[in-house]
């Protein structure tokens, strides 16, 4: 495994960054762009996943880093839940839902795996 020297080296952060880009593209078109509450909450949740990984990386302890990773993981779950709201009200179609949900799932899984690896290194 390569040494992680910067938060940008963390695969979970890289996937969270992709999620942010996809969510911003999705929320800036169509009816979803006009639903400021749902749009903003989706954007904030995606950004939170990415930024909490970065913030945690700069923590003074592994325990604190793990806490930030937990917050990041829950933010990815929030994106998944909000996507249900978007599909339920007809803002997105099933194909879009599936693609974005899968990116959030991938992000969540990588964050969770990273957090578990961190815990194993420092029980």
Measuring CA to CA, how many Å separate 55 from each of 30, 47, 109, 120? 33, 12, 19, 21
Neighbours of 117 (CB within 10 A): 10
- Distance between first and last Cα of the chain: 20
Quote the tokens at residue 73. Answer: 């993981």
Residues 6+ apart with CB under 8 A from 64: 56
pLDDT of residue 118: 84
**b/e per residue 43-54 (b: at least 16 CB within 10 A):** bebbbbbbbbbb
pLDDT of residue 2: 65
pLDDT of residue 4: 87
83: left (phi over 0), alpha (psi -120 to 50) or beta: alpha
| pLDDT tens over the chain, length 123 residues | 468 899 999 999 999 999 999 999 999 999 999 999 999 999 999 999 999 999 999 998 999 999 999 999 999 999 999 999 999 999 999 999 999 999 999 999 999 999 998 877 765
Residue whose C-alpha is closest to residue 34's, from 101, 90, 76:
90
Domain ranges for the chain? 10-121
Helices then strands, counting H and E runs in the chain, come out as 5, 0
pLDDT of residue 60: 87
CATH architecture of 10-121: Up-down Bundle (1.20)
pLDDT of residue 119: 79
Task: Read off the pLDDT of residues 58-84 as tens digits, 9 standing for 90 and up.
Answer: 998 999 999 999 999 999 999 999 999
């Amino acid at each position: 495994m390569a040494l992680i020297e910067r938060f940008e080296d963390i695969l979970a952060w890289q996937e969270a960054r992709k999620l942010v880009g996809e969510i911003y593209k999705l929320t800036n078109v169509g009816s979803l762009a006009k639903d400021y509450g749902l749009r903003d909450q989706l954007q904030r949740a995606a950004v939170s996943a990415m930024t909490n990984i970065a913030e945690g990386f700069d923590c003074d302890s592994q325990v604190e880093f793990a806490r930030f990773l937990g917050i990041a993981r829950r933010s990815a779950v929030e994106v998944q839940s909000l996507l249900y709201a978007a599909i339920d009200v007809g803002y997105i179609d099933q194909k879009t839902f599936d693609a974005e949900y899968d990116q959030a799932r991938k992000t969540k899984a990588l964050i969770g795996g990273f957090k578990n690896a961190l815990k194993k290194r420092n029980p």
